Amino acid sequence: MQIKSAEFIMSNSIVAKCPPSRIPEYAFIGRSNVGKSSLINMLMQRKSLAKTSGRPGKTQLINHFLINKNWHLVDLPGYGYARVSKSSKKVFQKFITDYFLKREQLLCAFVLIDVRHEPQPIDLQFMEWMGEKQIPFNIIFTKADKLKPKALERHVELYLKKMLETWEEVPPYFVTSSADGTGREEVLNYIGEINESFAYS
Protein backbone atom coordinates (compact mmCIF):
# COMPACT_ATOMS: atom_id res chain seq x y z
CA MET A 1 0.00 0.00 0.00
CA GLN A 2 1.23 3.47 -0.88
CA ILE A 3 0.65 6.21 1.69
CA LYS A 4 -0.81 9.13 -0.23
CA SER A 5 -2.09 11.12 2.71
CA ALA A 6 -1.92 11.04 6.49
CA GLU A 7 -3.77 13.63 8.52
CA PHE A 8 -4.26 14.10 12.24
CA ILE A 9 -7.98 14.11 13.03
CA MET A 10 -8.47 14.35 16.80
CA SER A 11 -7.34 13.36 20.26
CA ASN A 12 -9.64 12.43 23.08
CA SER A 13 -9.95 10.23 26.10
CA ILE A 14 -13.52 9.06 25.64
CA VAL A 15 -14.30 6.38 23.12
CA ALA A 16 -17.82 7.77 22.50
CA LYS A 17 -16.20 10.94 21.15
CA CYS A 18 -13.98 9.16 18.64
CA PRO A 19 -14.77 9.81 14.95
CA PRO A 20 -18.15 8.26 14.09
CA SER A 21 -17.26 7.27 10.51
CA ARG A 22 -17.45 3.53 9.83
CA ILE A 23 -14.13 3.17 8.04
CA PRO A 24 -11.63 0.43 8.97
CA GLU A 25 -9.54 1.22 12.01
CA TYR A 26 -6.21 -0.16 13.28
CA ALA A 27 -4.80 0.62 16.71
CA PHE A 28 -1.17 0.68 17.81
CA ILE A 29 -0.38 0.07 21.46
CA GLY A 30 2.52 -0.91 23.69
CA ARG A 31 4.47 0.15 26.73
CA SER A 32 5.90 3.63 26.74
CA ASN A 33 9.26 3.85 24.93
CA VAL A 34 8.59 0.71 22.88
CA GLY A 35 9.06 2.76 19.72
CA LYS A 36 5.40 3.33 18.81
CA SER A 37 5.66 6.93 17.64
CA SER A 38 8.78 6.15 15.64
CA LEU A 39 7.03 3.18 14.03
CA ILE A 40 3.95 5.21 13.09
CA ASN A 41 6.14 7.93 11.58
CA MET A 42 8.15 5.29 9.70
CA LEU A 43 5.01 3.59 8.35
CA MET A 44 3.56 6.91 7.24
CA GLN A 45 6.91 8.33 6.09
CA ARG A 46 6.24 11.48 8.05
CA LYS A 47 8.81 13.00 10.39
CA SER A 48 6.55 13.86 13.28
CA LEU A 49 2.99 12.76 12.67
CA ALA A 50 3.03 10.87 15.98
CA LYS A 51 4.78 12.65 18.82
CA THR A 52 7.84 10.81 20.04
CA SER A 53 8.64 10.36 23.72
CA GLY A 54 10.00 13.30 25.57
CA ARG A 55 8.01 15.81 23.54
CA PRO A 56 5.59 17.91 25.55
CA GLY A 57 1.88 17.40 25.11
CA LYS A 58 2.13 13.63 24.98
CA THR A 59 -0.71 12.78 27.31
CA GLN A 60 -3.05 9.88 27.82
CA LEU A 61 -5.12 10.28 24.70
CA ILE A 62 -6.60 8.26 21.87
CA ASN A 63 -5.19 9.86 18.71
CA HIS A 64 -6.94 9.34 15.38
CA PHE A 65 -5.22 9.79 12.03
CA LEU A 66 -6.97 9.50 8.67
CA ILE A 67 -4.85 7.62 6.15
CA ASN A 68 -5.42 7.72 2.37
CA LYS A 69 -8.83 9.17 3.23
CA ASN A 70 -10.16 5.66 3.79
CA TRP A 71 -8.84 4.18 7.03
CA HIS A 72 -7.98 5.28 10.56
CA LEU A 73 -4.71 4.69 12.30
CA VAL A 74 -5.06 5.06 16.06
CA ASP A 75 -2.15 5.90 18.30
CA LEU A 76 -3.07 4.73 21.80
CA PRO A 77 -1.13 5.70 24.92
CA GLY A 78 1.23 3.27 26.58
CA TYR A 79 -0.66 0.85 28.76
CA GLY A 80 -0.03 0.26 32.42
CA TYR A 81 -1.91 -1.15 35.35
CA ALA A 82 -4.62 1.15 36.61
CA ARG A 83 -4.88 -0.38 40.08
CA VAL A 84 -4.69 -3.54 42.07
CA SER A 85 -8.23 -4.50 42.94
CA LYS A 86 -9.44 -6.21 46.12
CA SER A 87 -8.99 -9.60 44.55
CA SER A 88 -5.46 -8.39 43.81
CA LYS A 89 -6.16 -8.59 40.09
CA LYS A 90 -4.28 -6.06 38.06
CA VAL A 91 -6.48 -4.04 35.75
CA PHE A 92 -5.52 -1.99 32.69
CA GLN A 93 -6.49 1.66 32.43
CA LYS A 94 -10.24 1.89 31.86
CA PHE A 95 -10.22 4.18 28.85
CA ILE A 96 -7.91 1.80 27.03
CA THR A 97 -10.03 -1.26 27.79
CA ASP A 98 -13.16 0.78 26.94
CA TYR A 99 -11.67 1.64 23.58
CA PHE A 100 -11.09 -2.01 22.72
CA LEU A 101 -14.43 -3.20 24.07
CA LYS A 102 -16.55 -0.49 22.46
CA ARG A 103 -14.88 0.63 19.27
CA GLU A 104 -16.74 -1.37 16.64
CA GLN A 105 -14.70 0.08 13.78
CA LEU A 106 -11.52 -1.52 15.11
CA LEU A 107 -10.50 -4.33 12.76
CA CYS A 108 -7.15 -5.19 14.26
CA ALA A 109 -4.75 -4.01 16.94
CA PHE A 110 -0.98 -4.10 16.77
CA VAL A 111 0.72 -4.80 20.09
CA LEU A 112 4.27 -3.49 20.03
CA ILE A 113 7.05 -5.41 21.73
CA ASP A 114 10.67 -4.24 22.00
CA VAL A 115 12.48 -7.23 20.51
CA ARG A 116 15.55 -6.72 22.70
CA HIS A 117 13.80 -7.51 25.96
CA GLU A 118 12.70 -10.73 27.62
CA PRO A 119 8.93 -11.24 27.59
CA GLN A 120 7.45 -8.84 30.15
CA PRO A 121 4.44 -9.84 32.29
CA ILE A 122 2.50 -6.67 31.49
CA ASP A 123 2.66 -7.30 27.73
CA LEU A 124 1.78 -10.96 28.12
CA GLN A 125 -1.12 -10.07 30.41
CA PHE A 126 -2.37 -7.42 28.04
CA MET A 127 -2.39 -9.91 25.16
CA GLU A 128 -4.12 -12.48 27.40
CA TRP A 129 -6.80 -9.89 28.06
CA MET A 130 -7.16 -9.17 24.32
CA GLY A 131 -7.51 -12.90 23.71
CA GLU A 132 -10.15 -13.31 26.42
CA LYS A 133 -12.14 -10.47 24.88
CA GLN A 134 -11.61 -11.85 21.38
CA ILE A 135 -10.09 -8.66 20.06
CA PRO A 136 -7.98 -9.47 16.99
CA PHE A 137 -4.37 -8.44 17.38
CA ASN A 138 -0.94 -8.96 15.88
CA ILE A 139 2.47 -8.45 17.39
CA ILE A 140 4.93 -5.93 16.02
CA PHE A 141 8.46 -6.47 17.26
CA THR A 142 10.26 -3.11 17.24
CA LYS A 143 13.90 -1.98 17.11
CA ALA A 144 15.11 -4.98 15.07
CA ASP A 145 18.19 -3.00 13.97
CA LYS A 146 19.48 -3.07 17.54
CA LEU A 147 20.20 -6.82 17.36
CA LYS A 148 22.43 -8.86 15.06
CA PRO A 149 20.49 -11.18 12.72
CA LYS A 150 21.11 -14.35 14.75
CA ALA A 151 20.22 -12.71 18.05
CA LEU A 152 17.13 -11.19 16.46
CA GLU A 153 15.95 -14.59 15.29
CA ARG A 154 16.60 -16.08 18.73
CA HIS A 155 14.72 -13.31 20.56
CA VAL A 156 11.67 -13.65 18.30
CA GLU A 157 11.70 -17.43 18.69
CA LEU A 158 11.97 -17.21 22.48
CA TYR A 159 9.12 -14.75 22.62
CA LEU A 160 6.85 -16.96 20.57
CA LYS A 161 7.86 -19.97 22.64
CA LYS A 162 6.88 -18.10 25.80
CA MET A 163 3.51 -17.28 24.28
CA LEU A 164 2.92 -20.90 23.40
CA GLU A 165 2.99 -21.70 27.13
CA THR A 166 -0.46 -20.13 27.33
CA TRP A 167 -1.68 -19.82 23.73
CA GLU A 168 -2.60 -22.62 21.37
CA GLU A 169 -1.08 -20.71 18.50
CA VAL A 170 0.83 -17.48 18.19
CA PRO A 171 -0.77 -14.45 16.57
CA PRO A 172 0.60 -13.12 13.29
CA TYR A 173 3.70 -11.04 13.91
CA PHE A 174 5.97 -8.56 12.15
CA VAL A 175 9.60 -7.70 12.76
CA THR A 176 10.26 -3.99 12.25
CA SER A 177 12.82 -1.26 12.59
CA SER A 178 11.98 2.41 12.40
CA ALA A 179 15.64 3.14 11.88
CA ASP A 180 15.94 1.25 8.58
CA GLY A 181 12.34 0.65 7.49
CA THR A 182 12.35 -3.13 8.04
CA GLY A 183 8.82 -4.52 8.03
CA ARG A 184 7.17 -1.40 6.59
CA GLU A 185 5.81 -3.04 3.46
CA GLU A 186 4.67 -6.14 5.32
CA VAL A 187 2.64 -4.17 7.87
CA LEU A 188 1.14 -1.83 5.27
CA ASN A 189 0.29 -4.65 2.88
CA TYR A 190 -1.37 -6.55 5.72
CA ILE A 191 -3.54 -3.53 6.51
CA GLY A 192 -4.22 -3.10 2.78
CA GLU A 193 -5.46 -6.68 2.51
CA ILE A 194 -7.82 -6.31 5.45
CA ASN A 195 -9.09 -3.02 4.00
CA GLU A 196 -9.83 -4.78 0.72
CA SER A 197 -11.70 -7.65 2.31
CA PHE A 198 -13.64 -5.07 4.37
CA ALA A 199 -14.61 -3.21 1.18
CA TYR A 200 -16.14 -6.38 -0.29
CA SER A 201 -17.76 -7.67 2.90
Residues that bind ligand GDP (CB under 6 A): 30, 32-38, 52-53, 142-143, 145-146, 177-179
CB 86 within 8 A of CB 29: no
Q: C-beta of 43: minimal distance to ligand GDP in Å?
A: 12
Residues 6+ positions from 44 with CB-CB distance below 8 Å: 3, 6, 65, 67, 73
Sign of the dihedral through C-alpha 165, 98, 27, 24 = positive
Report helix, strand or coil for 71: strand
Q: C-beta of 88: minimal distance to ligand GDP in Å?
A: 28
Residue nearest ligand GDP by beta-carbon distance: 35
For ligand GDP, give the closer residue by CB, 33 or 45: 33
Q: C-beta of 145: minimal distance to ligand GDP in Å?
A: 5
DSSP 121-186: HHHHHHHHHHHHTT--EEEEEE-GGGS-HHHHHHHHHHHHHHHTTT-SSPPPEEE--TTT-TTHHH
For ligand GDP, give the closer residue by CB, 139 or 195: 139
For ligand GDP, give the closer residue by CB, 185 or 196: 185
For ligand GDP, give the closer residue by CB, 25 or 75: 75
For ligand GDP, give the closer residue by CB, 179 or 194: 179
**Mapped to the 3 state alphabet, what secondary structure does 85-111 carry?**
CCCCCEEECHHHHHHHHHCCCEEEEEE
Q: C-beta of 158: minimal distance to ligand GDP in Å?
A: 19
Q: C-beta of 79: minimal distance to ligand GDP in Å?
A: 11
